[in-house]
């Protein structure tokens, strides 16, 4: 009975993760449209942040965001990450395909094709490194949103981090899923770009938490050493009954 309940609970968790992942892909895809529909580019990049704001506020499951918490005890594991990646792909694909059927298509599809061509012609190491830089900024924004106490600071940090990575053209794997879907340019080369960007996002998402953990460990060593050096020496307690008997026996022999 207990095993059955645990099995049902695990299934419910994965079902909820799948739904949140698809919704996160939809939210990011809708926000990505601003990057190909709005000029100048800086304004489109700023409006792109609305998608990240929605995902963070609604606690949806975005692949690049989950990567920032892998080193925590409750961080996502490999099955959850794969499910999240797949759900984001389905959500982004659905939005991209749907927008091709709207009157916005003549405006946004050529821009998406231009972005996709740039990625398809790029080198693998370039895509990977741009993915690292992208998720480093995302991790900054997400960590700021999570730990800041004042509301304004949380949102400003999130919006600025996203605006910077979009303006610089860094690689966000879920955004690439949307662009390839909107441009209808999926293929093995497109999949290679998305996978390389995902690996770069993984490395970038681990960079800041790993550095923070290493710093905490370095700071703990001097504290432990100082605590051990400053510990008061143990004073000898009263003699036990065995020692008292030995002393009495020795004094009798001397007499």
pLDDT in tens, 131-143: 999 999 998 888 8
Confirm whether 245 is domain-assigned. no
Judge whether 235 lies within some domain. Answer: no
Can you give the C-alpha Rg of the chain in angstroms? 28
Closest by Cα among 129, 126, 127 to 204: 129
Smallest Cα–Cα separation from 44: which of 96, 108, 100, 125? 108
Question: What confidence tier does 120 reach under pLDDT thresholds 50, 70, 90?
Answer: very high
Q: Does residue 102 belong to any structural domain of this protein? A: yes
Contact status, residue 111 vs residue 179, Cβ threshold 8 Å: no
Which residues are CB-contacts of 178 (< 8 A; sequence separation ≥ 6)?
A: 25, 28, 29, 32, 92, 93, 95, 96
Q: 17-26, 99-108, 159-168, 239-248 — which is least confidently predicted?
A: 239-248
Least confident segment among 71-75, 186-190, 248-252 = 248-252
Residues 6 or more apart whose CB falls under 8 angstroms from that of 61 comprise 17, 20, 21, 24, 84, 87, 88
Residue 5 has pLDDT above 90, yes or no: no
pLDDT higher than threshold 90 for residue 90:
yes
pLDDT in tens, 189-222: 999 999 999 999 999 988 877 877 787 778 876 6
Which pLDDT does position 12 carry in this prediction? 87
In a domain, 17, yes or no: yes
Tally of domains within the chain: 1
Q: Which domain holds residue 63?
A: 2-221
For residue 40, cis peptide bond before it (omega within 30 degrees of 0): yes
Residue 216 in any domain: the answer is yes
Is 228 contained in some domain?
A: no
Whole-Å CA distances, 236 to 12, 24, 84, 240, 243: 60, 65, 62, 11, 13
Cα–Cα dist 77/17, whole Å: 12
Residue 242 domain-assigned (yes or no): no
Which CATH number characterizes residue 94's domain? 1.20.1080.10
Residue 64 belongs to some domain of the structure = yes
């Amino acid at each position: 009975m207990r095993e059955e309940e645990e099995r049902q609970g695990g299934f419910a968790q994965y079902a909820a993760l799948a739904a949140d992942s698809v919704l996160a892909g939809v939210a990011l895809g809708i926000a990505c449209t601003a990057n190909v529909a709005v000029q100048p580019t800086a304004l489109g990049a700023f409006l792109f942040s609305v998608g990240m704001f929605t995902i963070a506020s609604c606690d949806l499951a975005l692949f690049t965001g989950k990567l920032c918490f892998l080193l925590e005890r409750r961080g996502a594991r490999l099955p959850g990450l794969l499910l999240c990646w797949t759900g984001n792909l389905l959500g982004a694909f659905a939005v991209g395909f749907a927008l091709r059927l709207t009157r916005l298509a003549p405006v946004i599809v050529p821009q998406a094709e231009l972005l996709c061509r740039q990625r398809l012609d790029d080198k693998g190491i370039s895509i990977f490194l741009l993915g690292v830089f992208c998720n480093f900024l995302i991790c900054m924004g997400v960590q700021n949103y999570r730990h800041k106490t004042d509301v304004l600071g949380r949102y400003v940090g999130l919006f600025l981090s996203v605006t910077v990575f979009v303006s610089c053209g860094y690689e966000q794997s879920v955004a690439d899923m949307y662009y390839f879907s909107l441009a209808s340019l999926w293929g093995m080369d497109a999949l290679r770009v998305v996978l390389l960007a995902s690996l770069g996002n993984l490395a970038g998402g681990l960079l800041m938490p790993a550095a923070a953990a290493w710093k905490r460990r370095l700071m703990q060593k001097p504290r432990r050493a100082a605590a051990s050096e400053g510990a008061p020496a143990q004073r000898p307690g009263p003699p036990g009954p065995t020692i008292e008997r030995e002393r009495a026996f020795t004094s009798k022999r001397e007499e």
